[in-house]
Structure 1
Amino acid sequence: MNRIEQRFAALRREGKKGLIVYIGAGDPDLAATRELALAFDRAGVDILELGVPFSDPLADGLVNQLAAQRGLASGTTPLGVLETVAELRRESEIPVVLYLYYNLMHRMGLERFIERARAAGVDGLLVLDLPPDEDEGYEAAMRGAGLCPIYLVAPTTPDERIATIARRASGFIYYISREGVTGMRDQLADNIGTMTARIRAHTNLPVAIGFGISTPEQARAVAAVGDAVVVGSAVVHRIGQLGRSPALVPEVTRFVRSLVEAVKSV
C-alpha cells in the first residue's frame, strides 16, 4: 500500500473521516507551498492535493484559475513542484496527490513524468482531462510505479460509467458533488447521499466528496455521508487574499484546522 491507501486504512480502523485539502502549487511561491503543507500535516490534514499550474485550467473556477496564474507568475514548473514534494518528504509523510492536466505529463513524457513523481514521493495523480478509457499506457505506468490513479465521478455519470471508473481507480474515488467547475458555494447539493450510495454499489474504495465545500459546517455535513471531504477553493481564496503576508501560514492553517475539527467530529 502507498501512503494514500495506508491513510484510508488507518481512518477505517479508527472509525474516522478524512480531510483532503487542495492548494495551488507555487501560490504565492513554492517555499510557501512547502510551509503550508507542513503546517497542514501538523494540523491533521489527511491528504494534500497540489494543483500543478497550467495556462488553461478548464475544470477550475475563477479562484483556482487565479491561483494557477499566480503559480505560473512565480515561475513554478512541473519539475519545481516535484522538487518541492521531494523537499517535503524530508520532514513529512503526508500523502500527496498531484492535480494536473494531461498536457503537462505529455510534454515531459508519460512514463518519465510518472517515474519522477514516484521518485519525488508523490502518491497519486488526478489528471483532470484524461478519461480512464483513453489512458495510452497511463494506468500500467502508474501501477508499475506504485502510484494511485485517481478518477472523478460527477452527478451526471451513469452507473455503467461509474462501474468502469471504479474498476480502474485506486486510492479513492473523487466524487465532484456539483456540475461545472471548482468554486465556493453557499449551499451543498441535495443529492450527495444518493450519488455516494450509487458509487459505493460499484466499489469498496473510499469516496471523497469535493467541489463547493466551503465552511466547517458544510464539511461536517458531507463527512457524515462520505469517507473523506475535499476542500479547495475556500483555502485557495484565503491564500490569494494573504499572498506573501507573514500571516499567510498561520491564518490559512487556522481555517484548515477548523475544517479538520469539523470532519473529525463526525
Structure 2
Amino acid sequence: MSTVESTIAARKAAGSGALIGYLPAGFPNLQSSIDAAVALVENGVDIIELGIPYTDPVMDGLVIQEATQRALENGFKLEHAFEAVSAITARVSAPVLVMTYFNPVLQYGIERFADDLVAAGGAGLITPDLTADNARSWLTAAERTDLDHVFLAAPSSSDARLRLAVEKSRGFVYAVSTMGITGARADVDSAARSLVSRLRDAGSTNACVGVGISSSDQVREVLGYADGAIVGSVLVKALADGGVPAVARTAAALATGTIA
C-alpha cells in the first residue's frame, strides 16, 4: 500500500476514517502555508492536500480563489510547491498530496514534475481537470516514481466513468459531494452517499468525499459511509481570518468528527 492508502486503512481499522485537509501553498505567504499545514497534522488531520495556486481555478469557490490569487500576487512560483512539500514532510509524517490543475504540470514537464515531487517527499497528485481516460502520460510517470494518482468522480459520472476512475486511481477516489464549486455548505448533498455507493459497486475500497464539508458533524456523517472526509474552504477561511492559530483550532474541532 501507498502511504495514503495505509493511513486510510489505519483510520478505518480504528473504526473511523481519514480526515484530509486542504490548504493552498503560498497563502498568505510560503512560510505561513507550511506552518499551517504542519498545524493541521498536529491537530488531527491525517492527510494534507496542498493546492498549487492557479490563474483559472474553475472548480474552486470564492474563499479558495481569493487565497490562491493572493499567493500568486505575492510571487508564488511552481517551484515553491516543492519547497513547501519538502518543508512539511521534514516536520510531520503525514502524507502530502498535491492538488493541481494539469496545465502547470504540462508546462513544467510531466516527468520532471513527478521526479521533483518524489524528491520533495510528496505522496502523489490530485488532478481535478484531468480525467482517467486522458491521463496516460501522467500515469506512466506516476507509476515509474511510485506516486499516487487520485481522480475525481461526480454524481453526474456514468457507471463506465466511475469504473475507470476506480481502476486508474491509487490512494483513493475523490468523490465530489455535489455538483458545483468548492465552498462550505450547511448540508453535504445527499448525492454524496449515493455516489459512494456507486463507487463501491464499481470496486472502490477507498472513496473520500470532498466539497462542502465544514463541520465536525459533517465529517462524522461522511465517515459513516465513506473512507475519508476532505475539508478545504473552512480551513482556508480560518487561515485568512486568524492565521495559523485559527487554522489549528479549526482542524482540532473538525477532528472530533473522526472519533469512532
TM-score interval (norm. to shorter): over 0.9
**Conserved 8 A contact 1:21-1:48:** yes
AA partner of residue 236 (structure 2): V
Match of 2:145 in 1: 145
Match of 1:238 in 2: 238
Change (3 A) 1:40 1:251: same
Structure 1 Cα separation of the partners of residues 87 and 192 of structure 2: 37
Using the TM superposition, give the Cα deviation of residue 89 of structure 1 relative to its aligned residue in structure 2, in angstroms: 2.1
AA partner of residue 91 (structure 1): R
AA partner of residue 251 (structure 1): A
Aligned partner of residue 91 in structure 2, secondary structure: coil
Unaligned runs of 5+ in 2: none
Match of 1:127 in 2: 127
Structure 1 Cα separation of the partners of residues 259 and 83 of structure 2: 35
Using the TM superposition, give the Cα deviation of residue 58 of structure 1 relative to its aligned residue in structure 2, in angstroms: 1.0
Match of 2:59 in 1: 59
AA partner of residue 193 (structure 2): G
Number of equivalenced pairs = 260
Alignment of 1:195-210 (within 5 A): 195-210=195-210
Using the TM superposition, give the Cα deviation of residue 12 of structure 1 relative to its aligned residue in structure 2, in angstroms: 2.8
Structure 2 Cα separation of the partners of residues 139 and 27 of structure 1: 29
Aligned partner of residue 59 in structure 2, secondary structure: coil
Structure 1 Cα separation of the partners of residues 190 and 134 of structure 2: 32
Using the TM superposition, give the Cα deviation of residue 71 of structure 1 relative to its aligned residue in structure 2, in angstroms: 1.2
Percent of aligned positions that are identical = 33
**Conserved 8 A contact 1:171-1:205:** no
AA partner of residue 142 (structure 1): A
**Conserved 8 A contact 1:170-1:205:** no
AA partner of residue 32 (structure 2): A
Change (3 A) 1:184 1:46: same
Structure 2 Cα separation of the partners of residues 87 and 185 of structure 1: 32
AA partner of residue 140 (structure 1): T
Alignment of 1:97-116 (within 5 A): 97-116=97-116
Match of 1:8 in 2: 8
TM-score (normalizing by structure 1)? 0.94
Structure 1 Cα separation of the partners of residues 193 and 101 of structure 2: 29
Alignment of 1:66-81 (within 5 A): 66-81=66-81
Structure 2 Cα separation of the partners of residues 166 and 204 of structure 1: 6
Match of 1:188 in 2: 188
**Conserved 8 A contact 1:177-1:212:** yes
Residue 252 (1) aligns with residue 247 (2): yes
Using the TM superposition, give the Cα deviation of residue 173 of structure 1 relative to its aligned residue in structure 2, in angstroms: 0.7
1:205-225 Cα deviation digits (max 9, x unpaired):
311001011122222211112
Aligned partner of residue 90 in structure 2, secondary structure: coil
AA partner of residue 70 (structure 1): R
Structure 1 Cα separation of the partners of residues 16 and 35 of structure 2: 26
1:18-53 Cα deviation digits (max 9, x unpaired):
100101111101101111121111112110001101
Match of 1:34 in 2: 34
Alignment of 1:212-223 (within 5 A): 212-223=212-223
Structure 2 Cα separation of the partners of residues 61 and 91 of structure 1: 30
AA partner of residue 132 (structure 1): A
TM-score (normalizing by structure 2)? 0.96
Structure 2 Cα separation of the partners of residues 260 and 184 of structure 1: 16
Match of 2:259 in 1: 265
1:191-248 Cα deviation digits (max 9, x unpaired):
3222211111112431100101112222221111211100101111122223xxxxx1
AA partner of residue 171 (structure 1): G
